[in-house]
């Protein structure tokens, strides 16, 4: 949940699993669900001022009037297919567009030195947060010294990287080593990762990683929307066609915090069981009950608060992502001498 800065109304993310139809009724979003046999269920009404964004996993019908309504209200809609793949977003008109910011973002990308500074910081932040997770479990008897030492060695090479491709290689090495430790971290859960397999996920843990990483990407995209940054101009990932690559950049920092910690929690607490996963189609997928369990835990993590050392107030994990956008924006605008990535301090 987040609070709207102007109205102080608490806003929430909503997840739609059932097929149905979305429509507008006055200033309320109406959802008419149908079951698997096509039988209508009771309509649900959501006041528009209480919606942060929508995640659509079912087949939902809507018309242009509804999307005009959502766009004017600043509500993003993120779509996923049956295989839990993110397929795209309805992205409202950017209300904080600034030509000067886009020019400076582009200049930072074209300036090789400045781009490398940002890209290096992104990998530094992501790998630091991976290490923080590993040290947490190492201190609780998981014996992860080998993976910790390997990642520390890769991190020592970051400052000497000759270009972004080399940085991407080091980041990949860090993450591969990090995933090697998952087996020890979740040993008591009855699940194992084996190796990281993405398309399609080969087992339950791979399924959770892929699904969680996609959710983290949409969280980063939503954060960018509330700043003047352009989501298509990135520094670690190459800007590409039909993707918001800056969200990929920022998600790298927060995957260990938002996604991996959620995975460790739901598995070690045995909140998910083998029957929550489906192997009948391509790869391994979460069934609806398991997906709802994971999403509830992920939302709980997003809404968890910490005392921010600089702001001296409690902020949610979700708001930390937006603060990261503000830091990056200040750097590309020349208002800060360096971009320092978010690192877990607790």
- DSSP secondary structure code for residue 273 in this structure: -
Higher pLDDT, 292 or 38: 292
Q: What is the pLDDT of residue 37?
A: 82
Domains of the chain from N-terminus onward: 2-90 (3.100.10.20), 99-332 (1.20.120.920)
What is the average per-residue pLDDT within 81-105? 87
What is the average per-residue pLDDT within 85-101? 85
- Given a contact cutoff of 8 angstroms between Cβ atoms, the answer to whether 283 and 202 are in contact is yes
What tens digit of pLDDT does each residue of 12-21 get?
Answer: 999 999 899 9
What is the average per-residue pLDDT within 66-75? 93
What tens digit of pLDDT does each residue of 299-320 get?
Answer: 999 999 999 988 899 999 999 9
Q: What is the pLDDT of residue 236?
A: 97
What tens digit of pLDDT does each residue of 188-209 get?
Answer: 999 999 999 998 999 999 999 9
Q: Does position 267 have pLDDT exceeding 80, yes or no?
A: yes
Residue 10 pLDDT level (bands cut at 50, 70, 90) = confident
Mean pLDDT rounded to a whole number for the chain: 93
Among 183, 187, 181, 192, smallest CA distance to 274 is for 192
Which residues pair with residue 117 across a beta bridge? none
Residue 115 pLDDT level (bands cut at 50, 70, 90) = very high
- DSSP secondary structure code for residue 311 in this structure: T
Q: Does position 7 have pLDDT exceeding 70, yes or no?
A: no
Which residues pair with residue 226 across a beta bridge? none
What is the average per-residue pLDDT within 328-338? 95
d(Cα 153, Cα 146) in Å, to the nearest integer? 11
- Whole-angstrom CA distances from 125 to 132, 174, 344 are 11, 12, 9
Residue 9 pLDDT level (bands cut at 50, 70, 90) = low
Residue 61 pLDDT level (bands cut at 50, 70, 90) = very high
What tens digit of pLDDT does each residue of 119-176 get?
Answer: 999 999 999 999 999 999 999 999 999 999 999 999 999 999 999 999 999 999 999 9
d(Cα 213, Cα 191) in Å, to the nearest integer? 19
| Percent of residues, the chain, with pLDDT higher than 70 | 97
Asked which of 251-260, 277-286, 316-325 is least confident by mean pLDDT, the reply is 277-286
d(Cα 259, Cα 267) in Å, to the nearest integer? 12
d(Cα 106, Cα 255) in Å, to the nearest integer? 26
Residue 188 phi, psi (nearest 5): -80, -5
Sign of CA dihedral 60, 255, 122, 228: positive
What tens digit of pLDDT does each residue of 171-185 get?
Answer: 999 999 999 999 999
Q: What is the pLDDT of residue 4?
A: 38
d(Cα 85, Cα 137) in Å, to the nearest integer? 30
- Given a contact cutoff of 8 angstroms between Cβ atoms, the answer to whether 184 and 264 are in contact is no
């Amino acid at each position: 949940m987040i609070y709207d800065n102007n109205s102080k109304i608490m806003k929430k993310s909503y997840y739609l699993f059932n097929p149905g139809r979305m429509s507008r009724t006055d200033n309320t979003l109406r959802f008419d669900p149908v079951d698997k046999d096509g039988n209508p269920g009771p309509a649900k009404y959501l006041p528009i001022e209480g919606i942060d964004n929508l995640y659509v996993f079912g087949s939902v019908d809507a018309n242009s009037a509804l999307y005009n309504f959502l766009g004017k209200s600043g509500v993003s809609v993120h779509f996923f297919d049956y295989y839990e793949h993110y397929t795209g977003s309805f992205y409202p008109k950017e209300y904080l567009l600034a030509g000067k910011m886009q020019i400076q973002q582009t200049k930072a990308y074209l300036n090789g030195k400045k781009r490398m500074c940002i890209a290096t910081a992104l990998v530094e932040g992501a790998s630091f947060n991976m290490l923080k997770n590993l040290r947490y479990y190492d201190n609780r008897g998981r014996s992860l010294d080998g993976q910790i030492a390997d990642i520390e060695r890769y991190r020592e090479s970051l400052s000497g990287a000759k270009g972004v491709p080399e940085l991407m290689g080091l980041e990949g090495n860090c993450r591969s080593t990090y995933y090697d430790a998952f087996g020890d971290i979740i040993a008591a859960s009855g699940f194992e990762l084996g190796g990281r397999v993405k398309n399609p996920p080969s087992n339950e843990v791979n399924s959770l990683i892929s699904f969680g990483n996609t959710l983290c990407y949409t969280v980063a995209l939503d954060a960018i929307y509330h700043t003047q940054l352009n989501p298509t101009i990135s520094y670690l990932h190459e800007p590409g066609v039909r993707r918001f690559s800056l969200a990929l950049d920022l998600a790298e920092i927060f995957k260990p915090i938002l996604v991996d910690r959620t995975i460790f929690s739901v598995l070690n607490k045995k909140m998910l069981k083998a029957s929550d996963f489906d192997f009948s189609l391509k790869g391994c997928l979460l069934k609806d009950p398991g997906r709802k369990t994971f999403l509830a835990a992920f939302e709980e993590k997003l809404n968890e608060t910490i005392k921010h050392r600089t702001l001296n107030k409690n902020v949610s994990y979700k708001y930390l992502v937006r603060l990261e956008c503000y830091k990056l924006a200040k750097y590309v605008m020349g208002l800060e001498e360096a971009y320092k990535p978010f690192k877990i301090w607790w």
